[in-house]
């Protein structure tokens, strides 16, 4: 678990990711998922994460899973974020999404900052990258707030990077 000012970031297990895909539950233990719509749980990325986790030892799963962003006061999920694999040569890509009903409140900037601090503390990660759609200015603002530098564009995507340390 990673703690920030307003949230707890809970790494989801392989089984919990499966529950999100199969059941679309209203809760996960004591955590309300009522604020997450079907569109807030990206089916294909969750399936990809499970495929990666299946091929790795359990101690590496944390690099491939989603962290559920939980507002600790309300015990309510407000989004998900996570890395897209185990760091390679100290570099890893991050992906994220805030529940539509919770956007515009600074949750993602706070959560991403917490995740970056955690990654830096592992000693295994020196750089984090992220890609956003060229029209997704909200996501680009989050990355800028968290210290990412725009690295260029290719097609419809804008590339960002941040050196940790």
Domain range summary for the chain, segments of one domain joined by +: 2-163
**What fold, for 2-163?**
Aminopeptidase (3.40.630)
Lowest-confidence segment of 12-21, 32-41, 155-164 by average pLDDT: 32-41
Predicted local confidence at residue 110, as pLDDT: 97
Averaged pLDDT score across all residues of the chain: 91
Instruction: Please say whether the beta carbons of 78 and 99 come within 8 A.
Output: yes
Alpha-carbon distances of 120 from 13, 52, 67, 128, rounded to whole Å = 22, 22, 16, 10
In angstroms, the CA 24 to CA 36 distance is 9
Predicted local confidence at residue 101, as pLDDT: 85
Query: In the predicted model, is pLDDT for residue 52 greater than 80?
Result: yes
| pTM for the structure as a whole | 0.91
Name the pLDDT band for 82 (thresholds 50, 70, 90). very high
Predicted local confidence at residue 23, as pLDDT: 67
At 95-141, the pLDDT tens digits run 999 888 888 999 999 999 999 999 999 999 999 999 999 999 999 99
Query: In the predicted model, is pLDDT for residue 142 greater than 70?
Result: yes
């Amino acid at each position: 678990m990673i703690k920030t000012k307003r949230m707890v970031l809970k790494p989801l297990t392989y089984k919990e990711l499966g529950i999100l895909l199969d059941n679309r539950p209203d809760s996960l233990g004591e955590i309300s998922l009522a604020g997450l719509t079907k569109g807030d749980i990206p089916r294909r990325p969750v399936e990809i994460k499970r495929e990666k986790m299946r091929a790795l030892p359990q101690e590496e799963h944390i690099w491939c899973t989603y962290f559920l962003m939980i507002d600790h006061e309300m015990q309510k999920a407000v989004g998900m974020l996570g890395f897209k694999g185990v760091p390679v040569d100290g570099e890893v890509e991050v992906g994220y999404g805030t529940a539509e009903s919770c956007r515009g409140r600074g949750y993602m900037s706070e959560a991403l900052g917490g995740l970056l601090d955690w990654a830096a503390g592992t000693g295994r990660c020196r750089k984090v990258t992220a890609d956003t759609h060229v029209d997704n200015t909200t996501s680009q603002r989050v990355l800028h707030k968290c210290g990412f530098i725009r690295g260029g564009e290719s097609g419809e995507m804008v590339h960002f990077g941040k050196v940790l340390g």
